Amino acid sequence: KSVQSFHFSPSTSLTKYGIDFDLGIEFHYLSDDTPFEIFPQIRATKELVKDVLLVFGGLRHSEQRHTLKSLSDENPYIHSYGTNQTILGGNVVTQDLKTTDTDELYVAMRNVLGKGEVFEGSVAYGTVQNLAHFVGVANGTYNRFLVDYIDVKQLHVNASYDRKINNIISVKANADYYNWDKEVYYKPNFTCDISTPVNLRDKIKVIPSLSYIGKRKTNSSFDSEPVFLPMIVEELPSQFHMNLGVYYNYTQNISAYLQLNNLSNSKQDMWIGYREVGFNGLFGLNYSF
């Protein structure tokens, strides 16, 4: 597509009552059918305890422009003419490329719990226009997916924890919870991951990690002319993965790595009809000159 995008975002900053305010307004024009948008950008920041507890919040606006690249990064089995597969049966199916707009009210905090130990959390609630999710399409020969867009109200809760235990071991954890007022397909309500990087003599880094993806609703259509109707609704089970990465820096110019993925050998469906790869490994060498 040929789409022209114009942004204009004047802003100002001021301090009042010991609170730092960042005030702005967003003007956005797209040459496609997207309506002209005006939205305030407001952020108020207060340091409750110096160098320990920071609280901030306000109104924010964010955008994500979808392309064939961004869609295929999320779902490699999209069904687009002339991209990653041959269209059979004379069907010409293309993805609809739109912009996802998120307007939300949020509050967040950053708390230094101790030396090298930080907790961050945020809660945001607002509206999302053109939230992208996927609908399965089976044309009798193979399964592919089309992107669909819906307008939803969204609650997003995020929490992260980072602790440097000593010069060798640290811990990093992150969790996200989403709640929508409509059914959203192929997107989990809850995800979390934790890793414990281990540094050995500044040459070798070992990173074991665990990740969890919650259950996901799916929607499939079995019409030769795909339509976005809840004809078949299924639920993909939650998934738990264990990974291990080993990285070795021989010199500033030469390094090597070994990645062992899915140590639990899970083989659940990531997308309907497409199972995840079981236990797998990757080895590589890097040389810079």
Give the tens place of pLDDT for each residue, 87-136. 455 556 678 888 899 999 999 999 999 888 999 999 999 999 999 999 88
Contact 13, 23 (CB under 8 A): yes
pLDDT of residue 146: 86
pLDDT of residue 228: 44
Q: Is the pLDDT of residue 209 over 50?
A: yes
Strand partners, 164: 170
Distance of alpha carbon 230 from alpha carbon 135, whole angstroms: 9
Contact 246, 258 (CB under 8 A): yes
Distance of alpha carbon 29 from alpha carbon 36, whole angstroms: 5
Distance of alpha carbon 154 from alpha carbon 130, whole angstroms: 12
Distance of alpha carbon 222 from alpha carbon 233, whole angstroms: 12
